[in-house]
Structure 1
Amino acid sequence: MEIEIISFGKISEFIKPQKLEISGITHTDDLKVYLESSFPKLSGMKYKLALNKQIVQQNCEIANHDTVAIMPPFSGG
């Protein structure tokens, strides 16, 4: 399965936009484990995932050609 990864803020300093070929990963919880092992700096940070422009609040299924954004904490005002 191929997914597109985009990142923002400090995370974009070490995770560049890219397409990943992954297998055996079908949910966002599995993807977090994969990303944190592939990018060790990520494991020590707080971050949110968005799947196809929707912030992930709970474990979600990932499909081929989905886009996953990795975002640091943010606030508005």
Structure 2
Amino acid sequence: MEIEIISFGQIAEFLKLRKLELNDVRDTEGLKTFLEKEYPKLKGIKYKLALNKFVVHQNTELSDRCTIAIMPPFSGG
């Protein structure tokens, strides 16, 4: 499965992925586990995932060629 990764803020400083090819990850919880293992800095940061422009509030199935945004806390203005 191919996933496009977009990261923001302090996360973008160390997570330079643009595309990710995964065969064993099928949902957002699995993706978080994978990313936190590969990028241990991510464990110490609160962040949210958005799947195809919608913020994920619970474990959600991923599909081929989906887009995941990894977002640190932010405030509006």
TM-score norm. by structure 2 comes to 0.95
Q: Secondary structure at the match of 1:70?
A: strand
4+ long deviations beyond 6 Å:
none
Q: Percent identity?
A: 61
Q: Separation in 2 of the partners of 1:17 and 1:68?
A: 11
Deviations 1:3-45 (A, max 9, x none): 0111000000001241100011111001000000011100111
Give the length in aligned residue pairs: 77
How large is the Cα RMSD of the aligned pairs?
A: 0.9
Pairs within 5 Å for 1:1-77: 1-77=1-77
Amino acid at match of 1:49: L
Structure 2: 5+ residue stretches without partners: none
Q: Secondary structure at the match of 1:50?
A: strand
TM-score norm. by structure 1 comes to 0.95
More displaced 10-residue stretch of structure 1: 47-56 or 10-19: 10-19
Structure 1: 5+ residue stretches without partners: none
More displaced 10-residue stretch of structure 1: 32-41 or 9-18: 9-18
Amino acid at match of 1:10: Q
